[in-house]
Amino acid sequence: MSPALANDIITFTFENEKPTYRATLNAVAESRHVRGVFLERQPKAQRHATMAASLAKPNLELAAGNLIRIWLLKKYKSMLVDFLNTLEIKNEDGVVEDLPASMDDAKLKSAIESLLGKYLPEAVAVYLNAFNDMNEANWPNLKSLLENDSRLQLGAHA
């Protein structure tokens, strides 16, 4: 994702989800073999850039995934709800118990186009990639769209 969006995610969490921010900061500090206070003493812009760079590494995939999930659920709940409602998937504020094993191509494409028309395209790309990676349904048609539609590819918005 773009550095600007990575910073937005970290800043949003800093301002709105202190426990998640603290856990993420501590995970980054541990991976860098420093104490959390070392990062806390850095200017916020430098600290957030350090955190974003560290979270892009495979050893912090769990922390990065958690940070993205919290950001999506808190900042973009309406996007999650819109997507699931358009697909006619029962949800509670964007959270789903059971996903269907497959999804109709036309319905999926329509839901994605609706999101792209209403929300920041890079945020849509992050959500759909996270949705695909974090759910056991693994719809082949969504995977194909994520791989082939440049609007949905992470890094295409930098």
- What does the pLDDT read at residue 127? 94
- What does the pLDDT read at residue 95? 82
How far apart, in whole angstroms, are the C-alpha atoms of residue 65 and residue 16? Answer: 17
- The predicted-structure confidence for 64-103, as pLDDT tens digits, reads as follows 999 999 999 999 999 999 999 999 999 988 888 888 989 9
Determine, yes or no, domain membership for 108: yes
Determine, yes or no, domain membership for 157: no
Q: Do 91 and 131 fall within a single domain? A: yes
How far apart, in whole angstroms, are the C-alpha atoms of residue 39 and residue 113? Answer: 40
Q: Do 50 and 62 fall within a single domain? A: yes
The CA-atom distances, in angstroms, between 14 and each of 24, 42, 67, 70, 148 are 10, 14, 11, 12, 34
- The predicted-structure confidence for 121-148, as pLDDT tens digits, reads as follows 999 999 999 998 877 768 999 999 999 9
Residues of the chain with pLDDT > 90, as a percent, come to 82
Q: How many domains does the chain have?
A: 2
Q: Do 9 and 65 fall within a single domain? A: yes
Give the residue from 74, 108, 131 where a domain finishes.
74
- Which domain covers residue 82, as residue numbers? 76-152
